[in-house]
Every structure is written in structure tokens, then in C-alpha cells.
Chain A
Amino acid sequence: MAASYDILLAELTKAYLYGRKNTTGQQNIDAASTAKIQADAIWNVSGQGGSGYATQAWVIAQGYITAAALTGYATQSWVSSNFQPILSETLGSVLFSGGGSTISEDNTNFFYDSTTIALGLGTNTPQRRLHSSVTTTGTTTAIALENNNTTNNNGNVLSFRSATSGVGASTFIEFGAVRCTYEEHDHATSKARMSLFTMNVGTLQESFIATYDGQIKAPYLASATTSNVLYYDSITGLITYGAGGGGGSGTVTNVSGVAANGFSWSIANPTTTPAITLTLQNATTSQSGQLTSTDWNTFNNKLGTALTSAYIFVGNGSNVATGVAMSGDATISNAGAVTLANTAVTAGSYTNASFTVDAKGRLTAASSSGTSFSDVIFSDYTDGTAVTASGTNTISKSVLVAANKITVGDINTLWCWFEKNGVSAANDRIYVNTSNSLTGATLIATLNPGATDKFDTIMRRFVVKSSTSTKFFAVGSSSVSDITTSTSASASVNIDWTQAQYFLFACQNNVGGDSNLCTNANLTRTR
């Protein structure tokens, strides 16, 4: 037919529907809301419709082609690939077979957003290219990767890709991946590991491994060698580092401690799960250790170093150290030099002086009274040792005169007493020596008490003429006193008074049983 006609399809069991040249000449199938194109109404559209017109067929929106309408024809080659039924499914729904001859949709759970190019599973608002969403209480699997090959060490890889730039640039470069390897497929002993791969200078390396037994390995933590591996054993809690694996080589197997500087150690389970207890003792005078609270407070209350220049710390009336300036009879500089306050005494030397001393012991006045003076060198009133031996010259008393105590120009007077009990005469002598010994001593006086004498006194004067000459009354004279005349010349004795000298008072009994001793002695000098 060359023209278009309205065709009441209900009256037809078969009809040849000719296509039109264009859509402007389209004629509607009237009352299509109730009209149906029966299962065999469209027949051989492609092959019989005539050249150039049957490549497409339009069914108006209100009509529909029942599934049965295409039964038996959809697989026929003459159902044109350009056959495009006009449907009423929801926007974005991805159509799928509903079973039999039906086409189904699940807009809520199977959705494609052509604008963002996103496919949603379990959602109709996909946020990424592939968005799988679940609302299950607890954990559930949103995406599963499966490799059913049961060869050990097979697995799945979730790969991350991109393109590179620069020299050698390429596309679809894998720069990261997550790989799960099924190491052992045997059901009873099955085990796996998860690896994280990252790109490192063009090489995708296995940088992080979680093993089946809870270990975490980072083979490339320190460098790109397998000998530098960090191991974490979640069972023992141990972190080890080094070559090896499985927490073997490089694992700390024992822990011990060394006590030092006040620290002591207590380690429980040193080979398994070490628990270390550190104890620090209190510091003492001889032992390092911790500072106790008491000590800290003591130290904290110590004086600081701040002090006003030239001040000294003095405890005040509140018993608190306070910086004050030294005053009164002395002052002190900030260099520590103490300066005494002057008295009325003029500095200088005084001969045979007259002194006035105040209550503080200071000389408040001094003057020379002339060139002559008298000075007691020694005055010893204690009994000497009683000499009872017979015939042995023995020291009864000795008195030490310090060096330079007697000087040139001194006129000295020596007095001493001897007491004797016995029946025989004796010998009493006075010597001078640099040691407390008679050996080498110089005799300066001698007196021989008689058998009945009980007491005798020696008085001997000597004058220091020079450093080498001390004049004595004739040495060896038995005179008890220098107040006499003598036919013997005076003796010049070389005594070095710049050295300390001993005055030795000796006794010698003629018979045993007699007792003789020096009871006192004194030496004065005048000039």
C-alpha cells in the first residue's frame, strides 16, 4: 500500500504494516490504550516491509508489546537489530532479564548514572564509578573477588592503575595493588597472606605483608633488601628487626638488667614476656639515687647564689640568712679582703714598750719607754727527775729555748736549785746542747754539794757578745755564784742561739741510793 491507513488491529489476525517514510507522516494506532499488537501481529517486519522502510517500527507510548508478542521472534534474524521498543522503565535503571520473556529493573539497587558514569549496586545514588552499598547490620561483604583455582599460592589482586609521564611514559601502569594469596588450599590447613604493593622507582614492590599467623612484615622499611625486615608478632607482642622471618632470627630471646647509679632491675619472664621493673633507690652520701621529696625541699630551700656585692650572709633575728655589709671593727671588699679599722696606735716598732689594750684586745696606745728591758726566757718550777744511780751523770731537767729567743747583746741570768738526799757528795751540772742529750753538750756551770748538803743553788750569768761568743764565768769552776773573784779567765763558748738550745740540768751521785734532782730553774735576759 502506498498510503497510510488507520487499521483496527483487533479485526486483523495478520496484517502487513508498512513502514512510513518518516515520522511526520506517522499515523497513530487509535485507541491504543486498549489496543494490542497481537503476538503475531507484526510479521516479518524486516524482510517483508519493503526496502528502506521497515528498519524501524514505532509503537506509541500508550501501547506496548507484550512479552508474548515477541515470543518466537526475538531470536529470529529478521528481528532487526534496530528494533527499539519504547519502554517506560525508571531513569537510570539497568535492565535485566526478569525471567522468561520479561525485562526487569531494580532502580534502587541496580542503577547507572550516565551523567557521572557511575554504577550503583545497592544504591541509586552511586558516588563513584562502582558503588556497592549494603545496609546490613554488622559486617557484610560488599564486593567479593574470587579465584577458584585451587593451586597453592593463587589468589586475587585488586589493582590500582594510572599513566606515567616523562621518558618511557606509558598507560595503564599498576602503581599499587592489594593481593591476597591463598598459600595453602587444603581445607584443614588452609592459610593465606595479604600483601600491599606500592610503586617504588618504577618497581611495584611488596612493601607490607600481613601473614596468616598474625605477623606483620615490612620488608622494605629500612632499605630495599630483604635482610632488613620489621616483624611484629601479635601473639608474643614482640617487634623484631633484621633478616629471617616468622619472628625467628632477630627476636629478643632474653632480657636482663645491670644495676648502676642507684638503679636496680627486676625482670619477670625474661625469656617469654619480659616485664621490667626499674627501682631507683634514694641517694645517700655514698650512693647515687633519686632525690627524695624531703631532700628536694631541703635543696630547694638552700640559699641561692645571689648576694649584694661585698655583702656576707648573716643569720638575722628570725634565724634567716640575710645579706649584710660587714661593719664595726672590720669591713670586707667584694674580693674577700678584710680591712680592720684603725686604732689610735701609730704603726711602727716599739722598744721596751708601754701598751694600752682595750676590752677587745686591741692596742689603743703604744710607746717606747727606753732601750733597756727585762724578759723572762723560761721559768720552770716543776721537779726534775730524781737521779738515784751511782756514778752516772744523768739529766734531771731539761728546758728548751726557742731559736733566736736569745740574741746578741743579751745579758742573761740563769738560776736553778738542786735538792739532795743521801750520805755522799754529788755533782750538779748545767749544760747547753742542740739536742736533749748530754753527748756533745757544753758545760756552762758545775757545783759539788757535800755529803751533808741537802740543797744547793747555782746562779750563772752569761752575755752574748757575738754570734760566736757567749761569755761565761770560768767554765768548770765549782763556784756556786758568779759574784766572786776568779783566777780563771772567763770562758768564751760558741753557742748558736739562732738554733733552739736545750738547757740541761744534770746530777751525778757518788754512791747509789742517794737522790738528787733539779727542782726549778729560770732564765731571764736584760739589755
Chain B
Amino acid sequence: MKLNFTENRIAEYEGKKIELTGQYEYLGDGAFHLMMDNNYKYFTIDDITINGVDVTSLEDFIKYLIS
């Protein structure tokens, strides 16, 4: 199951919509703690898609997060 961002800061995971509410923490090695609905959740870059498209660039994804 992948975390799919459907619009800016809004993602779907396991059939639920989750809002990216705060900061993120990059753990290295492509892994993140994403503050979503006030909880940190662990994902790697390989677990993330944007509108169903796999994220291939860590740098681009970080830019997406902070945009």
C-alpha cells in the first residue's frame, strides 16, 4: 500500500485521506517521518506516489513537501 498524494498536502493511505499537518523529518536513506494528522508516520520514498505516479527524485519530493 502506497501513500498517494492527490493534492497539495493531502494524501490517501489504506483508503483514508490523511492531511500532512506539520513538519517532516528526513531520516536518511530515503526514509521520512511525515507529520500527518498530528502523528508521525514512517514512509520511504519508495512508498510514496503523487497522483499515482511513483516519486523517483528525493529532491523533487522534498521540494513538493515544502512547497
Please report A residues at the B interface, Cβ cutoff 8 Å: 391-393, 427, 431, 438-443, 475-476, 491-494, 508
Encode B30-64 as 1/0 by CB contact (under 8 A) with A: 01010101111111100100000000000000000
From B27, B33, B35, name the one whose CB has the most chain A CB atoms within 10 angstroms: B33
B42 touches A492 (CB 8 A): no
Closest 8 CB pairs of A and B: A443-B40, A391-B29, A391-B28, A441-B42, A438-B42, A392-B29, A493-B39, A439-B47
Hey, which chain A residues are within 8 Å of B40, CB to CB? 442-443, 475-476
B20 interface residue per 8 A CB criterion: no
Hey, which chain A residues are within 8 Å of B27, CB to CB? 393, 427, 508
Given A431-B42, A491-B38, A493-B39, A476 contacting B33 (CB threshold 8 A): yes
Hey, which chain B residues are within 8 Å of A494, CB to CB? 37, 39
Hey, which chain B residues are within 8 Å of A442, CB to CB? 39-42
**Residue of B3, B13, B39 touching A491 (CB-CB under 8 A):** B39
A393 touches B37 (CB 8 A): no
Please report B residues at the A interface, Cβ cutoff 8 Å: 1, 3, 13-14, 25, 27-29, 31, 33, 35, 37-44, 47
Given A439-B47, A443-B33, A476 contacting B42 (CB threshold 8 A): no
Nearest-CB residue, chain A, relative to B44: A439
The CA-CA distance from A492 to B40 in the complex, in Å, is: 11
Q: 19 additional contacts, CB 8 Å, given A431-B42, A442-B42?
A: A391-B28, A392-B28, A392-B29, A392-B31, A393-B31, A427-B27, A439-B43, A439-B47, A442-B39, A442-B41, A443-B33, A443-B39, A443-B40, A475-B40, A476-B33, A476-B35, A491-B39, A492-B38, A508-B28
B22 CB → nearest A CB, Å? 10
**Residue of A393, A440, A441, A476 touching B29 (CB-CB under 8 A):** A393
**Residue of A393, A438, A440, A493 touching B1 (CB-CB under 8 A):** A440
B59 CB → nearest A CB, Å? 17
From A443, A491, A494, A508, name the one whose CB has the most chain B CB atoms within 10 angstroms: A443
The CA-CA distance from A207 to B54 in the complex, in Å, is: 104
Hey, which chain B residues are within 8 Å of A431, CB to CB? 42
Nearest-CB residue, chain A, relative to B31: A393
The CA-CA distance from A393 to B32 in the complex, in Å, is: 10
Hey, which chain B residues are within 8 Å of A441, CB to CB? 41-42
A439 touches B39 (CB 8 A): no
Nearest-CB residue, chain A, relative to B36: A442
Given A393-B31, A427-B27, A440 contacting B38 (CB threshold 8 A): no
Hey, which chain A residues are within 8 Å of B35, CB to CB? 476
